[in-house]
Amino acid sequence: MSICDAELWAEMTEQIASCVAPRCVLCTLQLKGNDDIFVASQANPAYQPGKYFACMVNCPHINGLAHGCHSVCSQVGLPSLATCEVNCWDNEFDLSARRSSDYQHHLMRNDATMLDIARSAIRTEASITKACKAQIDTAHCTWGTYVTLRGESYVSSLSNDPDGILLYDPIVKPAADIIYFSRGPLGVQNILFACSADEVELETVRWNWWQDIPFSAGQSIYFDFDGLKIRNIHGNQEGNPKRPMWSAPSLRPSLVHFPLIQHSQAARFNRITVNDPEITGYSIAWNAARRALTMMAHAPSSDLRCYDEFPERGTTWFYIALGSGELLKDIWRRDCHSHPHRGVDLIIATSLDNVYVEGPHENPNRRYSYSRLAVLRDGPNYMYIDDSVGFIRELAFDPEPGSNSNTWEDYRPVPISPHPGNNPNCWNISESFFYTSAPLDDLLGVNLCRFNDMVTGLLLHYGDGSQATVGEVRLGRLQSQRRQVPRNSTIRFTVSRTSRQCPYVNGLKIFTENMVKPPFNHGLDLEVNCHGILEWWFTRRQCQLAYGNRTSASTCL
């Protein structure tokens, strides 16, 4: 949250002289700008009233980081500093807006209120002891005890002395050589001693992350105790703050990591299944500021909540529709080196050589470089995506051995029609257009993707069972009824303009050979036959379709 120097902070609050952690230590919910709060810190342990102001990114917290609670939550009592330490979130567990909302709903299950949650935090005060660092010896049995906080179970102790639940016996599990443990924002919730050669499948939740520590018999394992529960576990006394986290227990030494941006925090990898026969397609979210935001695999049983993860405004969704037997094959990155458009976009090629650029079409006035990240295996596998902060920071793959001889020139999309953004009548040269295209030969039907009165894209179905998309397609907005396209039909895209003269597709009409067509709206509409290539250029505010040497309405000035 912020670069906040002490003088500016003091000027804003007139009382609070240090940065304030962004979550209430009683209810754990996010503090919002101008909230009435009470604040205490090690330097100033007496609570002070004030207003909450968020810091900016990469704040050095030069006067330390104080604990704050909502003034409403303080009705149940003001927590001691020790209680604050037990209830404060680890900084590395920032959640996206959607996941933060999920966490809030989880806390308030069973009709719990903010004050109920705050009371449960205050009730822990009697159980809190002195925080410390400790260790166990893996040459001996390990026992663990658990404690409940806000209805959640946490590991409260690890010991070689018999106390609580037996977690590990080196005689019973002589092959054990790895510890998996799940951490939430407040500490360790689960721990498992296992053999690294075994596949482990355990239930997890969206705000918990798994880490692993390889160990050998007799090695000491270290942990941090915050006074009530264990916060973290380490394989050495110094710890490793950048050890990656995983959405499920995983040990994959063969994984190759590909950071898309440089960052100082530990990566938090969600995993998605790729190249499974059940998968029908993939959705990728994108925006101009953060580029690729997330990627989701779709199967017939999948829900469509992924579209709720990101705000409607500014988010563009790409859909990769797979044909029978079609697999993801190559993952590329495209770096734009021209200021102020610097950024990284992903490019995905399939086994049928269909290419999906998850970003705008390249602009001839900008400088790009292309590099292959990985060639994926043909069978079911996992792709690991660090999208935990609301956009993709890093990818990890278990790639196919060897290399693909194809170069980027073998994949580069080459539009038939001119780039609408290069229109000499278009002054808005900064507007970046996305480019999609699909064949019309052997077309059987289409599903329209609608938003209000706009058709944003199409899902096309072919006689061989394959599919393709043009434009922006969100599965949650697809019309369920497929429009049939008889052989030798003509398709007319009807186009309108917004109040700002931006063209958009408002409908689609299909004419068979013997039908009488209504008058054609020259300068707006586009008619295509069921052969050749349909091209669909679009931005967030307008689109232009092209077929051969014909186009729909020109983009706005």
Element (H, E) at 349: strand 343-350
Q: Are 533 and 439 in contact (CB under 8 A)?
A: yes
Beta strands in 161-227 (DSSP E): 165-168, 178-184, 187-194, 209-214, 220-225
DSSP class per residue in 24-64: -TTT-PBP-TT-EEEEE-SS--S-EEEE-----TT---TT-
CA angle 9, 14, 18 (to 5 degrees): 40
For residue 239, what pLDDT is reported?
75
- CA 540/CA 550 separation, integer angstroms: 22
Could you state, in chain order, the average pLDDT of each consecutive group of 10 residues for the chain (557 residues)?
43 59 92 93 91 81 87 95 93 72 78 89 93 96 95 94 96 94 93 89 78 92 97 86 83 84 85 94 92 93 85 92 93 88 90 93 89 92 89 91 80 91 56 94 97 95 94 94 94 96 96 90 95 96 96 90
> What does pTM read for this prediction?
0.84
Q: Which residue type is seen at 420?
A: P
Q: Residue 152 class from Cβ within 10 Å (0-12 exposed, 13-18 middle, 19+ buried)?
A: middle
For the record, the structure tokens of 264 come out as 């100082």
For residue 12, what pLDDT is reported?
43
Closest CA to 254 of 374, 393, 379, 394: 374
The half-sphere exposure of 513 on its side-chain side, counting CA atoms within 13 A, is 3
Query: End-to-end alpha-carbon separation of the chain, Å?
Result: 39
- CA 171/CA 108 separation, integer angstroms: 43
Beta strands in 398-548 (DSSP E): 434-439, 443-451, 454-462, 467-471, 483-484, 490-497, 503-511, 526-529, 533-538, 543-547
DSSP class per residue in 423-459: -TT---TTPPPEEEEEE-TTEEEEEEEEETTEEEEEE
Q: Are 368 and 357 in contact (CB under 8 A)?
A: no
Element (H, E) at 335: strand 328-336
| Strand 381-386 to 132-137 pairing | unpaired
Task: List domains and CATH numbers for the chain.
Answer: 15-76 (no CATH), 132-241 (no CATH), 256-410 (2.100.10.30), 434-551 (2.100.10)
Local structure of 127: helix, strand or coil:
helix
For the record, the structure tokens of 116 come out as 């109920």
- CA 320/CA 312 separation, integer angstroms: 20
Q: Are 320 and 360 in contact (CB under 8 A)?
A: no
Sign of CA dihedral 464, 466, 471, 473: positive
For residue 430, what pLDDT is reported?
60
- CA 267/CA 274 separation, integer angstroms: 20
Q: How far is CA 529 from CA 155, 323, 411, 464, 534, in A?
A: 66, 23, 26, 19, 9
